[in-house]
Amino acid sequence: MPEVSARFLIESLVRPDGTAALTEVYDTANALGIPDQPVRLTIRRLVAAGAYVQEGRGRAGLLRRAGVVARTGRHDAEFLRFAYRRDAGLEPWDGRWHLVIFTVPESERATRDTIRRTLLRLGGAPLHPGMYVSPNDWTDVLAAELTVTADPSATGSSAPADSPAPGWGWTATTADLRHAGESRPAVLAARLWPLEEIAARYRRVALLAARPVPAEVSGHSRRVEVLRDALELAAAFDHAIAPDPLLPLELLPEGWPPVAARAAFRVTWLALQQVLAESGHHLFRGVIPLP
């Protein structure tokens, strides 16, 4: 089962005024099965880093944001917008496969690993060592992810050791992709991506999204229960969508489960946001920026 980290828990419970009541932080953590100790250690690290200051001690204390703190945002707004547009049939496939081919010397293993991780994170599938494919046009996002920014203070190479240098690879598009004589796009997609594994990750999302959301939250204990449910749902959604290549519907089985799961998540998440906002929580604002 996907776990909620202590840091994500803490940042999620920071209210619009920049404070988090530690009694709520600890009680919600305990409701999620997180002991006090890792929460306490995380708070100490955040305070030591200058991100927060703690007022008071223990559960009676208050955590206050110190200046501007970068949240541990889990999802890019454009990525989620694309997912929901694709589910609605607004991002049809153009029938083109997009290829990336790269060769990096063994002596630059860190650079090679960076390219591989980026291609996989963006939904690519390996065809051959150094060759990846996606049905989505990833030209612009790859350029943004893998372009080296010059550092005027550098005396030698402007790129960090694990950054691809200009000209790190080739890109191409084709409408004729074949494997062992097979060219049907949906069959190829099933060979390239673990569709059953992807769908299985969404089953817990659908299950948690089916839990009823109360019309109102009254009392500390009830608020903690709802926060626990929201965090569990957020963790499950993150676990499912982060590795999802968001393949075109034309390449997927009919009735693809993630579509319904994402729809259910959206309804429940917005309902949770609304009911918790009435008690002072603007739940995960910017962390799961639903369209």
- pLDDT tens profile 75-87: 578 889 999 999 9
Cα–Cα dist 245/198, whole Å: 9
CA 244 vs. chain centroid, Å, equals 9
pLDDT of the residue at 39: 96
pLDDT of the residue at 229: 94
Fold of the 96-174 domain: Alpha-Beta Plaits (3.30.70)
- pLDDT tens profile 92-104: 999 999 999 998 8
Q: Which of the residue ranges 45-54, 127-136, 138-147 would you say has the lowest mean pLDDT? A: 138-147
1.10.10.10, 3.40.640.10, 3.40.50.1580, 3.40.190.10: CATH of 6-65: 1.10.10.10
Average pLDDT over residues 186-203: 97
Identify the band that residue 152 occupies on the pLDDT scale cut at 50, 70 and 90: very low
- What is the token pair recorded at 212? 């009823």
pLDDT of the residue at 32: 95
Q: Around Cβ 66, how many Cβ atoms within 10 Å?
A: 14
pLDDT of the residue at 167: 66
CA 160 vs. chain centroid, Å, equals 25
Average pLDDT over residues 186-212: 97
Domain locations in the chain as residue ranges:
6-65, 75-94+194-291, 96-174
Asked if residue 246 has pLDDT above 70, the reply is yes
Asked if residue 163 has pLDDT above 70, the reply is no
- Residue percentage of the chain with pLDDT more than 90: 61
Q: What is the mean pLDDT of the chain?
A: 86
Cα–Cα dist 72/190, whole Å: 33
pLDDT of the residue at 273: 87
pLDDT of the residue at 199: 97
pLDDT of the residue at 72: 40
Identify the band that residue 283 occupies on the pLDDT scale cut at 50, 70 and 90: low
pLDDT of the residue at 176: 96
Q: Compare 168 and 138 and report the one with higher pLDDT.
A: 138
- pLDDT tens profile 3-62: 889 998 998 888 878 899 999 999 999 999 999 999 999 999 999 999 999 999 889 999
Asked if residue 159 has pLDDT above 50, the reply is no
Cα–Cα dist 25/165, whole Å: 44
